Amino acid sequence: MKKRTLALLLAGLLVLSLAFTGCGAPEPDAPPADEAEPVDVDPDAFLIGITQNNVGIDSYQTTYDRAFREAVESRADVEGIILDAAGDVMRQINQVEDLMAQGVDVIIIWPVDGTAIVPAVEKAQAEGFPVVITNSPIDESGYEFIVGFSGPDNIIQGRYAAEMMIDALDGEGKVVEIMGLPGYVTAHQRSDGFHEVITDATGIEVLETQPGDWNREKSQQVMENFLLKYDEIDGVYAADDNMAVGAINAIKEAGRMDAIKVTSACMFGDGYDAMLRGELHGSVEQSPIVDATNALEMALAVARGEEVDFWYYFETPKVIVEEVENFEKPVF
């Protein structure tokens, strides 16, 4: 908090576009903010700044954003500046600069690109701003410049999806993979975790991996191409339920639902319903609400000068089709 008075005076010279002081979310159609307006904050409260990845791209990020705002609003000891990079890494780098100008106590980053953001993180650390990475890790070259990571263990999630696939196929079959967005660390970690386990199942062959970019429509197209290319497909691993549902739509249109098992690594509401129908064999529970509140709690602990674990994971249990009713349907 010691930097705030001077920083806010300097920030008043900026041309800025969004402030958040615990008063609610912007309108859904509002354009993403590049920078934040100077805010009048309680000098006894911690000022936490966050630049998010791409709030409008899917319901997980929308729910995370809402949960983070509600968590800030519910606390007397914190004020928040909440920004959205809208999937643009240069916008995110500029937002990190702006948060430093605002004199925040801690910067939280949901990285658009885990490698491209490293120089901005290094600069923040050099200027005395602690950085917490949320949801998706940055490249290892940036680890020395951050205080830690808050989010799911994506390697474990990929392993869980592989274990469920092996069980679904009784250890025998041909599998295709639809991974997330290339260059996004979460996508690569979930893929790496899957392959770590699936390669030990000598009766299972991974035919091909293609990106679905976290997008349902693209994943449906990828699956359609797989079905045309391969006469025999026994299983599909998709890195989240949004992409899994896209794959399932293609499989149903081809009339091959009974012959193909699908597993995923992050459960969405539509995936939950697909499991109830027996179309999705297994997924992994990951709450965006817990994801958001976990990041805020880590940032506040850092702001208070407390020691924190570098890897601040939250639990993400696997969910098989036979046990899905024991879990609550995701709200996203």
For a pLDDT cut of 70, what percent of the chain falls above it? 87
What count of other Cβ atoms lies within 10 Å of the Cβ of residue 63?
19
Which whole number is the average pLDDT over 230-253? 97
Domain 4-152+288-315 classified CATH 3.40.50.2300? yes
The pLDDT value recorded for residue 230 is 98
Neighbours of 79 (CB within 10 A): 23
Residue-wise pLDDT for 26-51, tens only, equals 333 444 445 555 555 566 799 999 99
Cα(323)–Cα(41) distance, rounded to whole angstroms?
A: 47
Give 154-186 as a DSSP string: HHHHHHHHHHHHHHHTTT-EEEEEEE--TT-HH
For residues 192-214, give the mean pLDDT: 97
Q: For position 184, what pLDDT does the model report?
A: 85
Domains 4-152+288-315 and 154-285 share a fold: yes
From the list 140, 149, 95, the residue with the least C-alpha distance to 118 is 140
CA dihedral 128, 134, 139, 143 (to 10 degrees): 40
298-310 average pLDDT score: 97
The one-character DSSP state at 128 is T
Q: Hey, what's the torsion of the CAs at 69, 158, 261, 280, to 10 degrees? A: -20
Q: DSSP letters of 267-291?
A: --HHHHHHHHTTS--EEE---HHHH
- Banded model confidence at residue 15, pLDDT cuts 50, 70, 90: very low
Average the pLDDT over 256-268 and give the result: 96
What phi, psi does 164 have (nearest 5°)?
A: -70, -35
Taking the C-alpha atoms of residue 281 and residue 121, their distance in angstroms, rounded to an integer, is: 40
Domain ranges of the chain: 4-152+288-315, 154-285
CATH of 154-285, one of 3.60.15.10, 3.40.640.10, 3.40.50.1820, 3.40.50.2300: 3.40.50.2300
Give residue 172's Cα distance to chain centre. 32
Name the band, by pLDDT with cuts 50, 70 and 90, for residue 59. confident
Over residues 292-321, the mean pLDDT reads 97
* Partners of residue 320 on adjacent β-strands: 282
Structure tokens at 266: 């992050």
Crossing angle between the packed helical segments 4-11 and 89-101, to the nearest 10 degrees: 120
- Which value, to the nearest 10 degrees, does the dihedral of the CA atoms of residues 296, 69, 214, 330 take? 90
d(C-alpha 270, C-alpha 267), whole Å: 8
Return d(Cα 105, Cα 58) in angstroms, integer.
Answer: 29
The pLDDT tens digits of the residues spanning 126-178 come to 999 999 999 999 999 999 999 999 999 999 999 999 999 999 999 999 999 99
CA dist list (Å): 314 to 129, 136, 157, 198: 24, 13, 12, 24
What does the pLDDT read at residue 19? 32
What is the DSSP code (8-state) at residue 196?
A: H
pLDDT score of 9: 35
Residue with tokens 């696997």, as numbered in its chain: 318
Residues 6+ apart with CB under 8 A from 138: 109, 111, 114, 115, 117, 118, 121, 146, 185
pLDDT at 1: 52
**pTM of the shown model:** 0.80
